[in-house]
Every structure is written in structure tokens, then in C-alpha cells.
Structure 1
Amino acid sequence: MADRKDDLLRRPLYFYGIPADVLPTLTPAPKDNATGTILSPAETPAGSSTPKNNEGISADTPAASSEACALCNLSFASHADKRDHFKSDLHLFNIKQKLAGKPAVSEDEFERLIGTLDESLSGSEWSESDSLSDVDEEDEEGADIDDTVSVATTGTSGTANVLSSLLKKQAVLAEKKKKAGQTGKKASDSSDDDDEATVSVPRVKGQKQRQREAAVNASLQPLIWFSSPLLPPNTYFGVYRAMFSDKELSPKQDVHGNEVTLADEDEAARSARILSAIHSRQLAPMSAPPNNAAAAAAGTTSTGVPTYAGRHIFMCMIGGGHVAAMVIALAPRKGKAGTVPMNREATVLAHKTFHRYTTRRKQGGSQSANDNAKGAAHSAGSSLRRYNEQALVEDVRALLSDWKPLLDTAELLFVRASGTSNQRTLFGPYEGQVLHRNDARLRSFPFNTRRPTQKEIMRCFIELTRLKVREIAPQQSSTDETQASLTATLANEKSVAAAQQRQQRQAERKAAAKRAEEEETSLLHTNQLQALVRRSKVPALLSYLSSNDLTANTFRFFPLDSPQNYHAPTLLHYAASQNAPALVNALLLRADADPTVTNGDGKTPFELAGDRPTRDAFRVARSELTDKSVNIDWDAARVPAPITRADAEQREAREKAEATRKETERRRAEEARLKEEAAAEKKKAGGTGNSVSQKRLVGVLKSAEDIRQEEARGLTPEQKQRLERERRARAAEARLRQMNSS
């Protein structure tokens, strides 16, 4: 038995060719188990295909951790499933119930409410125009594109209408009860009146009724689950609901002709009906065609398209100018040693794929949609796309006309038509129409599909006709209220903890972003201020500090750990190290800089000053600030005794005069010496005075700066720079020669 169970989990099972030992053991799973949580997927074969979303992730593969909805008391396999549940009608309805102060309903109760919606809507106190959208007012023959097919394809607008109808129904019933209470009439009498009104009004099943049914079917689970003793515990077979007809899933009348809903039907009748439908779909294996799929047909029509008397389905996808269609026989092929057919063994009766350039590249949307929204364009590309759209319509309708014998006898019609124009292409109305929106065989693909191709059509066929094997945890019983409340409490605690973690992460991200912004701003200020200090731009420096709300007393260069900022962290440190007395004076007297701040080595700005004028600037500032009664600990700043600005200027003038006097005396002594040497050489050589000593004498009469100015006179700035580089290079070479000789 264990080997048999493992074999069922590994091998693919074909829905139209279930093995004889498996078929009798199938039993529809109870709703409580069928709506449980998928614990771990056990996909049947290695070659079986699972529907994937646009990112290529399997749509049926759950996450390792489960999540729950405390409001609806449901658990989910992944966060994606939980997110989808938050968009479902059940969750939205329970939110409305909670806001109204009413208890939440379970999934079965919600289905029962939807099942009884039609009967409530048909009463005299309820108007269908209140529950359906404006498109419902159109009749069955003149309906536009947004009708039953669009509802069956998307299931969004229809379910929204049903939810709106259900909420409006409750509001009407509540209003009726309120009025009955005010007039003294009992609520039971009002209910009886509703029943009588329901019976008295005849119900005609038309487009509106089909829209409701399509919306209800879209709100159900896409898979029907079956149990079998051949499977491990809590493991079930799954078949897509779309493979059954509406009568097989939910008959509207019993044997006596009375209307029956899913809520009124017992479990035994439901199981017998579904099992009978499965047995009726079992087909005998067929032999492989000798050459191709068309050769397996019994004959061909006048157009050359094969006819087929067996059971088959039609599958078509159209979107973005891509079209793919295929007619596939449902009878399984005879395999080797009773193997189950794989995708390469499917009998394709007819297939066709083609493409037309109709979409606007890099802009999206068809040309017709753009023309309807913005008006007709007049470019060459737009004309080509309009022509291709019309050609695509003609090609598709011609193909459907050629395949009409196969489509008329097909068991199911699976169509995916995205967009209004694509639906109009298939469903018209037009002369010789083949597909009709009110066809009971019409289905949409109950999973995500990719670009229409022959390979994608075959993948969808495999997905639809293969039995799924899943392990499903049964839902907890309704009597276990303690466990349910505990689960809800844990879910709420997890939600609160997750919310707190999200808030903490958001706060950390905001703090990090704020720190990064502050650091970037500090770095910008540092670069600008240091550049102004290096160029001794006193007015520009003071203006920058004022315009950016910066103070020289508190601003620190960034980053502090860099060698330059470690040595000179403040503006006053940096100005003193650059030997800029004018900046030091301005920072102390006009920018309120603090001279007591120390750098990383414990030195004050005064200790970084490299010349006397800069140090005198500190002493002058000490004198002037003391007179202004500014309290600064100058001893902590290590600034010597103060001096006045006049004393500093006088001493500077005396030092300059003394330096000028010494330079003049030196020049005179050197000139006298050269004259004596020149006279001695002239006397010794008896020359006329054109000697080297006279040249040296002429040179010594001029200073080095005068000589440099004479050499650079009349040169362009580029030539002056080149001359200065050459002069420095010669000086460096001379120093190197002197070092080498010594």
C-alpha cells in the first residue's frame, strides 16, 4: 500500500483517463477539509506543469510560514494568499459587518448568503437596478463587450456587484424591520410578505442572471478536492471547477422541479452528482495517428479542416496582437505498459498561431484604444497598426469559421481575450458569428497565463487535465472556540509585533537618512569654508557663515577623524595654521570664535600660529575684547599679554624699517667690495672695464625681484609661468649639485 501511495504521488494522472483502481476510491472532500490550509505541495509528476504568475513563481506553492486573518478566522500558506484574501468579498463583507457592530461570517455562511441572493433580489421590495451596474440594463441581444464574457474572464466586476447587492439587501431588510417595529408589525410577517412577493414575481433567466451566476462562480475556489484511501492522510486530489458544467456543480432544480441551492443540497447528493460527472468523462485510450493529428480524424470538411467525432476541447488566447488557438482531443493515447500520457502524446486536431503588429511599442495599448482616447494619429506606424488590427480581426474570424465543425462539437471552450477589441473580435456581433457569449461551454482559464503561443496552450491543457495532489490541513471545528480565540490572539500578537518591527525599521531608516543628510551638509560646509580660509576671503567667509546660520564658535569640520580636521577642527585653528592674521582678527572680533578650543593634540589656535603677525592678531584681539568686557579665559587659550593695535603696527613698522636699513647696508657693502675687486682686476689686466666684475657690479645694483621683473617684461601669462618653472627647475638642479658635491 505504501508503494502504491508513493506511486500516486509521483506519476501524473490524466482527468479523462483515471486508472481503474483509483476511480472507484474517489470521494468529494467535505467543505471543511476542502477549504483548509495547504501545508506542502506534492505536485504529481516531475513533468506536470503548475500555473505561474508573471514573475515565474508557482501560484500554488505556499510559503514555509503560515499567516492568518483574525477577522475571518482563516489561516493561509503564504503572505500572497493572505494579501489576496484581504481583497476578497468575504473579507470586505466581514469588515462591513464589524463596522456595523455585527459578528463576522464564515466562508460557508457567506456562500449561503450569495446563494440566496437571487431569490431576495427577485422580490417586489428589491430592485435589480440597485444591485447591478449600468451595463446590466442592456438586453441579451444588444449587449456590448462588457457582459457575461468579461465577467467570466475577470470575475471582478461581477463579484463587486454581488457584494454590493448583498450589502444593499441587508440594508433594505434592516429598514423593513425598522419600519415594521415602528408600526407594530412583526418581523416574521415582513418575511412572509417577502416570500409572497418572491413567488408572485416571475423570474426570467437572462443576461443579468448569468452575470450573477458567473460572479458567484468566480468567488468560489478554482479547485474541487477529492479524497482517496490510496493517498496519505490529509492529502487530496484536485480538479479544476472549470472542467465541469454548471448543472453538474450546482443544479437549480430537484427531481420534483423545485429550485435547489448548494446550501439546501445534502452531502450525499452532491457527492453522487460530481462522481457521476467524473465517471462520464472517462474515455478509452485511442491509438496514435500514423502521421499527424489531422490524419487521426474521421474525415475533413470542404475547407480541409479535419472533423472529429470524439470528445475534444477548444482553447484560444488573444492579446497584444498575438493569437494562439488549438483543438485537442480528450481521449488518452495508448502508452507503453499502461503509462499515463504526457504532453507530447496529446492529440492535437488543429492548431494555429500568428501575430500582427498592433500594439504601440514602448507606449503600450492598441492603436484603436489610443485613437479612442486621444483621437486618430496620422503617422505611418499608426496607419500600419490600424491595418493590422483589421487584418487580425479578419484572420481570427476566418479561422473560427474554418474550425466551426470542431467548435460546434467541442465539449468546452476555453478563451482568454484581454481587452474590449479582442473580445469584440471573437464574439462580435458579426455575420456568420461562431462563438457566442451566452454559450454554456465557455470558460476562462482559472490561472495566470503568459503570451499566447502553441507551447503555452499545451501547458494550459496539461494544467487543466492533470489531477493535483496536495496536502491540506483540515480547518478547526467551530466548537473549538478556545483554540480559535487563541489562534486569533496569537495572530494579533504577531501582527502587533510585526507592526512594531516595521515602525522601528522605518524610524531607523529615517534616522539613518537624516544622519546621512546632515553629514553631507556638514561636508559641504567644510569644503566651502576651508577654501575661503585658504584664499583669505574675509568678507566672503563672514557672509557664508551668516547666510547658512553657522557660528564659528560651534561649527566643527567634518569628518573629525581626518588628519587635517584632527589638527585643525575649527575655523580659528585652520586660520592660525594658515598664518592668516586678517582672518584670525575677523573671526575673534566679528564671528565670536572661541580661542580656548583645543584640537586632537590638545593645542589651542594660538599655538598653531606660525609667524609673529598672526600671534599679534590674537594679542590685539585680547586687548580689544577685554575692553568690550567679553569674558574669555585667555590664559586657557595660552595667549600672551595683550597689546594695542597701535603698538603692534608701530612695532611692525620698526621691524620693517630695520629690515630695510639692514638690506641697504648690505647692498652698499657688497657694491663697494665689487668695485674694489673690479678696480683690482682692471689694474691687473689693463683692460677698459668690460670685465666680468663690471657685469657683476651691474647685477648687484639690482635686486633679484627687479631682475625677475625685467626678464618677464613683455611676456604673456603662459610664457611667464613657463619661465618661472624653468627658473625653479634650475634652482633645484643647483641645490642637487651642491648636495652631491658636499
Structure 2
Amino acid sequence: MDKKQDEPRRPLYLYDLPPEVLASLSLKADAGLSTQTEDAADEPSPSAPSPDTTLGSQACSLCGLSFVAVEEQKEHLKTDLHHYNLKQKLNGLRPVSETEFEKLVNELDVSISGSDASESEDEEDETSRKDTTLSALLRKQASLADKRNGVDKDDEPKKKTRGAGNQPLLWFSSAKLPDNTYYGAYKAMFTAAELGAEDAILGAIKERQLPSISMPGPSKGSSAVSAAYKGRHIFLCMIGGGHFAAMVVALAPKQSKHGGVGPLNREAVVLAHKTFHRYTTRRKQGGSQSANDSAKGAAHSAGASIRRYNEQALVEDVRELLKDWKALIDTSDLLFIRATGSTNRRTLFGPYEDQVLRANDPRIRSFPFSTRRATQNELMRSFIELTRLKVKEIHPQAEPTTTTTTTDETSKPTPKPKPSPPKLTEDQETALFHTTQLQSLIRRSKLPALLSYLTTNALPPDFRFYPPDTQQNHHAPTPLHLAAAQNCAALVAGLLTRAGADPAVRSAEDKTAFELAGDRATRDAFRVARGELEEAGRQQQQRWDWDWDAARVPAGLGRAEAERRAERERVEREKGEGERRRREEERLLAEEGSAGVDGGGGAGKGRKKSGVLGGGPRKTAEERRVEEARGLTAEQKMRLERERRARAAEERIARLRGGG
């Protein structure tokens, strides 16, 4: 394949571009920099999805958001953002993005019912609070319109249509790319001054090229800051629902242990990372405890007390961490922060003593794409999404001709048609259909159906899934790779010994199927298959002769030996579980015995008679829990379990306070 055609498939890092790509970059003609305002540059709209993200049916065309699951889409339909955009549409106005709506609501100085407050109330209260917030916002906009001294809105300059000047990505053309294919970089990675002109943005990209470093990151789970590091770095932070995650990442890449050249052999350097997870949200009702207290008054249950304690502890932990990281935060190039809701923003931006983050800091950016729960992995995914160049094929659209007639003064221009996705060829549609069917059978571990499907459709056992550039197909491109990644030993054995799958086939990540196996049983399936196929080859009954060393599969293993190992491990697990149960029973007996002695005469005698000396076997804690839950519905059982845990937690807190 021609190198020019292969170049777009290489992942390119914004801060480590190859010289030939860097020299050939030029801004796309309709990038829209001339109409870009400072606010739009600093805070790109997260409503526009990433152009290299595959959009499915879970999307809101009104708000311009896409979702991973249907549940997320249903939750979005209940938010103020969606209801506000509905009212905007009814009034003939343009919808607003998530960032724009957050600014509007923050100016009202009221709690947002779509974030913390909305989750803290039941359905009836949520609707009333939502109407209050929307009504207040609409009233304020109406009052601002009245102050315009009767100026007709139709006489005002027209704003840019949504998406025309507020796209989250800048697009660049390059001689290394095929026709109509462009590189994309997020505007959030640049300052407003750099986005002022084409020469400025190209010069900014050249200034961002950094040599690789060899500095190791902190150990797993460490929150220690590499204070000696003086290079360029950024700070990423997410907080919400009792979950907090923060990370400081160096912008200069680290050379991998393989010592190769190119982005595939570069790794990110994490200077510091930390996560906190606290129980602060009300189960099956949503929302924080503080938001519920503000709406309905302070609750007096054990769970409410625990949630209030955890909320305060989370605030203290987060602010103490920011204080420890102050040196790195102050020297960060950019600060990417996701903190929706007044409670979470107060946690970060205060005001409070020794405050580290300031809401008016020009370095602060929002994430210009959808994010999930605050975890270390989600922060690293966001960092990769922000700093890697996107590659997309964009076909120019012909301007639609607008026809007007002199007899109809109210005629409007014909709206531009939405771009249709590129049509697949017949071979591509067939490959896509086979991919869907095979992957479905593998995920359900249907070995006979899988083998029958391959035979009936005359497909090779090493069939390559289509399209190859998706994340899943890039990681597991063949049925054997996917079966190994799913840890399905039976499918692995069947594909190797019955279908004739080649174990030496490698993915785009240069990994064989054996290297994707995640447990011993799946790895033993490869070794047993190697032993059986090699034995069949020695007996001149072998149909397939594979290079097992190239497949990185260890020496062959007999089926009987593998079964003995599995049985031995099973016995060891059962023995360990039995020992654990015995120790637990002894602990419970000791606790009950000590409680009987401490309780005094009558109470102690009562406990003795009901125990082993009373003539009946002593019940374990698990047996008592089962007996208490007998006859209850599933919901009642869950409520009983929550109350039991709340009482136990309340007792622990009381012991801690008493001991202090």
C-alpha cells in the first residue's frame, strides 16, 4: 500500500508530530478562525461530538449530544438543558450548547435541577424545581429584551448558525494525506491569541513539539507529586456523584521500553494522580444529601448522617490534595475541569482559605466531548482524546441553490441537506453483516453455531472483522482474538482444533490471540491445542501446520494434565474458602461469647441457653440474615440490607468518635 494512503491510520500526537507531517500542515480553508471569539476558543462547545466518534441511535439531535447507552439518553431527556432547548425551538430561537446553558444558569445563582438538585428529589419535586429554574431563566431573558428600548430582534445582526463558528475541532490539510482527508485538533488545546490567525496557529503547533523524556511516573496508586519536573504539563480533574479523579500529565512523551521511533512507541508520563470515592448520593433516588436537605429539610436517618459526613470528608480531601499539588497546578499549561453543579463547583472554586483553583483562570477548559464517571482510566482516555490528532475524510458540499419568487414575500431559503454517510459497497456490506453475526455468536459462547456459520458461508477461520478501524476490531480483528479476549476457553479450543484458526495471526497492535487471553484456563486451551495438533502431526494426521513459536504459545500441554491442574486449583480454592468460613465462624462465636459475659447475669444466661449449651446449634451470621429476609419482597430485602449497613457504619463512626 502507498505510504500516502497509509499515513492517516497512524496515531499522531499533537506534541510529537513527525517532521514531514509538521512541514506539510496548512489550515483548512473553511476552518472558521476569523469568526472565532475568545469565549468559543477557550471553552469549545461539548455539544458537538468528536468527529472520529461513531454515532449511533443514542443521540439527541436537538442538543447535539451522543450517548453510550439508552439509559444515558433517557436521563438527558429529563435535564434542564433539553427542556430549555425545547422552549427555544418553540420560540423560533436556536438551541444552546451545554457550556452556554451552564453559564446562563450560573448567572441566576440558583441550583441546577439537571445536575445535583434534580437528582436529589423525587419525580414530582424534580418537575417543580425544573420549571422554577427554566421560568427564572426565561424571565431574565425577557427582561433583558425589554431593556433594548424596543429594538426589533429582526433588525439585529444575525448570529452565526450553530456549528458554523463554534466547532470544537480545527481541521488541517497535509500533503501526506489523501484527497479530502484532514487532520483535526481540539481548539481547547490553544489560547485565544493563538487562534487569531492561520500563521499564529501553525506557529503554535510548531512550538508545541517536545522531545521525549525518560522520567518515570509515580507508582500505582500513588498521589506523590514529581515536584522536580519543570517541563510542560496539563491538569485534568473530574468531580460528581461522590467521585473525584485528578491527574497531572506531562506533555512530553516518554520513550517506551522497545526504544522504537514514532507515536506507537511513545507513552504518556503521569506526574501525579489520585481518586476519591465517597458514598454521598441517595440510592435509587439520586442527588446529593446536601441538595435534598436544602429542598426538604435535614433528614435524620442513619444513611443521611453518613452521606453528610462523607460529603464534608470529600470536600476536605479534595482541597487538601489541590493544596499539595499547588506547585504543579500553578505551572500547568491548561486546566481541564468537569464540575457540573453548584456543590461540586464550590468544592473546587470555593471561596475558601488557601484556595488553589480560581473560576476566572484563563487556562480553565471544559472537556469538549462527553465523559463518564470520574476515574483514573477516564482521565487518561480524555488526555489521549485531547492530544491525538483526528483523521477524517470530509467531502465538500455544493451550496444549495435558493430560489425566490416575486409573488411570495415570505418564502425562505431552502435549508442545506444533511450530509449522508458514505455508501458501502456490496462486499463491505457483506463483510459488515458477517462481522455482526460472528461477534454475536462469540459473545454468547455458541461454539457449534459459530463453526456451522463459518462452514455454511465459506468463511475462513481467520476472517477479518469489518470495519477494521473501530476500537474493538483494531484490538481483536479475528474470531480467535475475540474469543481469547472474552476468556472463552471452549471457543479457543474449537477454533484451533476444529476450524483451523491460525494462532500466529497478529492484530494491528502486533499481538497474537494468546497474548489477549486473560485467565489461566484460556491460556491452557492454547497449550492443549498445540499439544494435540503437534501429536496429530507426528501421526501424519495433521491438517494444519502452524508456527506456534511465532504465535508466542508456550510448550504443548496434555489435556489430562490441564484437567489435573484445574482440579487442583479448584480444590485449593474450596479449601481456602472453607478455612475462611471456619475463621469467620470462630470470630462470630468469640464476639457472641464476649457479648454474653459483658451483658451481665440475666442477659448472659439468656444468650447461653439460646446458644450451643441451650441444646440447639448456633446459627451463623449468614443464616440469621437469611432468616430475617425470609418472606420479604426483593425491594424489602434491599431496604433491610441498606438499613443494616447504615447501622453498622453508624456504630463504626460512633466508636471512632468515642476513641478520639
TM-score computed with the length of structure 1 as normaliser? 0.40
Greater C-alpha Rg: 1
TM-score computed with the length of structure 2 as normaliser? 0.45
Structure that is richer in helix per residue: 1
